Amino acid sequence: MNKKIAIIGGGNLGMAMAEGLVNSHFIKPEHLVVTKRNISTLKSLETKGVMVSNDNAEAIRYAEWIILAVKPFQIKEVLASLQPLLDPQKHVLVSVVTGVWIKDIQEIVGDRFAVFRAMPNTAIAIQQSMTCICAHQASEEQIQYVSALFDQLGRSVFIEEKLMDAATVLGACGTAYAMRYIRANIQGGIEIGFSAATASLIAAQTVKGAAELLLQKNTHPEQEIDKVTTPKGCTIAGLNEMEHQGFSSSLIKGIVTSYKKIVDDM
C-alpha cells in the first residue's frame, strides 16, 4: 500500500481529500503531494508533513496515482501540460472533475492509461464521503486500491460512467442540499425559542441520527416516518403542511435542475 499520490488542484475538494487521506492514515503524509498555483493556502497540509508544490511536473515525477481535482474548465489545459510526463506503465489517473468523461481525458493523454472517475463529496475531509466510482482499463489490483482508498474515506460504490453526472448531483451537490435543509431547521428552531447554537446542534444531530437509522437498519424513510407520526399529532400536521408548500417537489425539481445544468454545460 506504499503508493505515492499526487493531488493536482488543492482547492475545496483536493484539500478535503488530502485531509481525509492523512487523518485516516491511509497514506503517510510524505507519500502525498498536493499542487496548486498559489500554495499559501496549503500551509495546514504542509504542517502535517504533506508535500505541497506549485510544480505539477514535480508531482507527476514523484507519484504513481494522479488525482485530478481542478475545475472542469481547467482540466484540458492541465492534462495537456502533463501529457508528455505521463507514463501508462507508472501512472493511474483518477479524475474527480464534474462532467468530464473518460473519453475526454483519453483524447488528450491517449488511450493506454488506467483511468478512474470518482465523485466524492466534501465530507471526505472527515472520512464520511459518499463516493461513486467508475473504472476504465483498470486491473483488479488497481480497482481494489481505489476501493480501499475511498472506503477509508467513507462509503463507495462502483457505477456505470453514464451515471456519473447523476452521482455528482445526488452525492456531491447533495451535501449542499442537506446543509440548506439543516439551515432551514435552525431558522425554524430559533423562531420557536432556541438559541442559534442549540438549534444548530439539535438540527445537525437529528439529521445525522435519521441518516444512520436508514444506513444501519436498511429501512425505507417512510417506515421510519410512520414510527414518528402520531395520529392527529404534531409531526404529521407539520409534514403535510410542508408537502402542501411543495417540499418534496421542490427538492426533486432542484435535483433535476442541477442534473440538467451539468448535461447542458458539457
Ligand X SMILES: O=C(O)[C@@H]1CCC=N1
Q: Which residues bind ligand NAI (CB under 6 A)?
A: 8-14, 35-37, 56, 69-72, 74, 78, 96-98, 119-122, 172
Rounded distance between C-alpha atoms, residue 223 and residue 101, angstroms: 38
For residue 168, the minimal CB distance to ligand X (Å) is 5
- The response to whether 231 counts as a known ligand-binding position is no
Tell me if 210 is assigned to a ligand binding site: no
Is 110 assigned a ligand-binding role in the annotation?
no
Instruction: Give the nearer residue to ligand NAI in terms of CB position, either 13 or 94.
Output: 13
Q: Is 168 in the site for ligand X (CB under 6 A)?
A: yes
DSSP string, 27-63: S-GGGEEEE-SSGGGGHHHHHTT-EEES-HHHHHHH-
Tell whether 115 is in a known binding site.
Answer: no
Binding segment (CB under 6 A) for ligand X, from list 41-49, 79-87, 126-134, 168-176: 168-176
Strand ranges across the sheet with 65-68: 51-53, 32-35, 5-8, 65-68, 92-95, 114-119, 129-136, 154-158
Interaction residues for ligand X, span 88-117 (CB under 6 A)? 98
Tell me how far apart the alpha carbons of residues 85 and 9 are, in angstroms, rounded to a whole number: 17
Pick 21 or 173: Cβ nearer ligand X: 173
In the list ligand X, ligand NAI, none, the entry touching 29 (Cβ below 5 to 8 angstroms by class) is none
Of 51 and 172, the one with the shorter C-beta distance to ligand NAI is 172
**Cβ nearer to ligand X, comparing 42 with 164:** 164
**Positions 219 through 248 that interact with ligand X (CB under 6 A):** none
Q: Which is nearer to ligand NAI, 14 or 154 (CB)?
A: 14
Find out whether 69 is annotated in a ligand binding site.
Answer: yes
What residue 97 binds from ligand X, ligand NAI, none (CB within 5 to 8 A, per partner kind)? ligand NAI
**Contact by Cβ (8 Å): 99, 105:** no
Q: Is 84 helix (H, G, I), strand (E, B) or coil?
A: helix
Is the C-alpha dihedral spanning 178, 183, 186, 191 positive or negative?
negative
Place of cell 464534474: 98
Alpha helices in the chain (DSSP H): 12-23, 43-47, 56-62, 72-82, 102-109, 140-152, 164-167, 174-191, 196-217, 221-228, 234-244, 247-265
* Per-residue binder mask for ligand X (CB under 6 A), 119-158, x = binder: ----------------------------------------
Q: Could you tell me if 120 and 150 are in contact, meaning their C-beta atoms sit under 8 angstroms apart?
A: yes
Question: Is the CB of residue 25 less than 8 Å from the CB of residue 45?
Answer: no
Q: Is 226 helix (H, G, I), strand (E, B) or coil?
A: helix
Task: From 18-26, 74-82, 167-175, 230-238, give the range in contact with ligand X by CB under 6 A.
Answer: 167-175
Counted residue by residue, the chain has a size of: 266
Least Å distance between CB 101 and ligand NAI? 13
Which residues are at the interface with ligand X (CB under 6 A)?
98, 168, 172-173
Residues making up the binding site for NADPH: 56
